[in-house]
Amino acid sequence: MFYQNRKIPLYVIASLLFGLKTYIVYRFIFNIELDNAMQEIILFINPFVSAFLVFALSIWFKEKRQLKFTRYAMLIGSLILYFNLVFYRNFTDFLTIPVLFQGSNAADLGSSVMALIHIPDILLFLDVAIVWYLSKKYGTALSVSYHKRNKVLAFSLSVAFLMGNYILAEIERPQLLQRTFDREYLVKNIGIFNYHIYDIVQQSKSKAQRVFADGNELAEIEDYINNNTTDNSKSDMFGIAKDKNVIFISLESMQSFVINNTLHGEEITPFLNDLVEDSYYFENFYHQTEQGKTSDSEFLVETGLYPLPSGAVFFTHGQNEYNSTTEILKNNGYTSNVFHANNKSFWNRDVMYDNLGIDKFYDVESYDVNDENSVGWGLKDKPFFDQSIKYLEDLPEPYYSRFITLTNHYPFDLDPEDATIDKFDSNSKTLNQYFQTVRYTDEAIKEFFSDLKASGEYEDSIIVLMGDHYGISDFHDKAMAQYLDKEEITPYDHIQLQRVPFIIHIPGQDGKVMSEVAGQIDVKPTLTHLLGIDDSDDLSFGTDLFGENRKGYIALRDGSFISNDYIYTKDQCFNRSTGELIAAETEGITDDEHTKQENACQPIEEKVAKELSYSDQIIYGDLFRFHDFKNENEETNESKNESE
């Protein structure tokens, strides 16, 4: 048929097949939110527009080369789409250039990657097989030989389609390419392949920022920080833990919905539930990580800056100058160390830790790891804490020690003999297993507290526990809705699920449940405040959680925010206390009142955008190299010593 009429060239067949496949992946595999008919139309047309733009390039080649170009373009495009799909299944996000340069992490992922690959995925390469078959069977009969004018016409047509797609996207979301905090919006409006091209351009621009930075940019940023995030007041909690050791436990993938909650009638986290009773527990504490996940949470705690919109700062800007929590504490007599039974190079920690001023990293080489005491990502949490105590006891005091757990990590595997609660029963294997590994970590923390008391380290320390990031992505919304007994997980619910535990346990203190909105960016000033350390010279975007002059909102990396009154996400403004969409009901209110409601989130939205932009400028431009924190801290300490 193809040979006889030659009406359907291979590049057209490839465009139609690849466009259709891409749309199916967008619509039914990626969990992309569609809010209106315009978004549905754009989502449908952009796969075909992108496919035609690429495959139409083949007409500029000779007939045999056309077939080869089409075949390999089909294969490469399918691999790019599939790699994004595998990444999306775990992170509900899309690949970026910095993430690709973090490929050294892949060797350590083990079962995590295998759990993301599904046998039916082979169907996503069916169109590749069809194109290869047709090109081999019919050969140059499927090629075209256009005059130059027709080639230019075809190219112009593909560009016109692309511009039409972009115009529709701009109508649906004005300033699309200027408001790039949310990669889902970019993929939804311009397609995953155009998004990758845009990402390459953005990364090139960010690399140039450091070259052209001269430090003058800091004046405006300092002014903003001093007027909006700095709180120099001293609450009753200031210095309450002066000169005490700091034991900081990073709870891998632990979200707040498991705290004081049950499964099969049993408490999921019985020890943490008890610990909350005599600790300062922040029930509205949100993780603020992005693609760097655990390393992003470390970055937030150490610097009080936001992570980058793509990639992990630990990788992309590990050599920058920072004024870390570690360095501030070191200037006040503390030693510092991190305990984590993983390869020292994972997330580029060996480089970044040295740059942050951390004295010692107890990595996997410091532990006895074997088949019996490891699962999933490595050493189980119970032997991890058990083997760490001997190191902790030998540390000079006061010390600042961070522990990073591993067992409650995707895909949440656990040996049957370690499981002390039954699995959940849903369509999500991930969520079903999650509760068992959470319970195991809870039991490991309980044993660690007992060891701290037995070793004598407990009384002279404050113990901070923090969830590092979410464990259950919105790829598992159906199962999560089942557990939470909801009809569906709304954008409002999704933001609320970004809450992670944050517990400050000070032996001898009664503690309190704190309900104000808080986030990981606030940890640094909160710690220095409790330890009685003056951090007035620091430049960060967090505020002391015990202070009275808090800024009243928490920014997430995608531009969403949580304030005292509102939750803003995906261009929607919700009432924080009720979850209702602002201005959804217009009956009985005036036009002015309706306009006021619609704009309720706008003032904070603008501040969040500015704050994220300032933080990015600091990192991309390495601006702290122009600011001498060390001398300022030394001057502060000298004045302090003279007064004593």
Active-site residue list = 294
Structure tokens at 484: 């939470």
Backbone angles phi, psi at 69, to 5 degrees: -60, -45
- Cβ contact 588:282 at 8 Å: no
Whole-angstrom distance, CA of residue 518 vs CA of residue 553: 8
Nearest to 290 by CA among 484, 559, 104, 573: 559
Nearest to 85 by CA among 40, 123, 54: 123
Structure tokens at 132: 């290869």
Element (H, E) at 451: helix 429-455
- Cβ contact 59:144 at 8 Å: yes
Using CA atoms, how far residue 244 sits from 240, 457, 459, 507, in Å, is 9, 10, 9, 11
SS3 assignment, position 569: strand
At 387, the amino acid letter reads Q
Strand partners, 401: 247, 337
Burial class (CB in 10 A: 0-12, 13-18, 19+), 451: middle
SS3 readout for 483-513: HCCCCCCCHHHHHHCCECCEEEECCCCCCEE
Helix/strand/coil percentages in the chain, nearest 5 = 55, 10, 35
Cα radius of gyration rounded to whole Å, the chain: 27
- Cβ contact 72:202 at 8 Å: no
DSSP string, 210-227: HHH--STTHHHHHHHHHH
Strand partners, 362: 339
- Cβ contact 366:212 at 8 Å: no
Nearest to 218 by CA among 541, 614, 632, 630: 614
Structure tokens at 392: 């902790």
Look-up of token digits 């999921």: 268
Structure tokens at 141: 């009969």
CA count, 13 A, side-chain hemisphere, 244 = 26
Whole-angstrom distance, CA of residue 85 vs CA of residue 94: 8
Structure tokens at 299: 């970055």
Structure tokens at 323: 């004024």
Backbone angles phi, psi at 516, to 5 degrees: -65, 150
Using CA atoms, how far residue 143 sits from 140, 148, 339, 428, 562, in Å, is 5, 15, 61, 46, 56
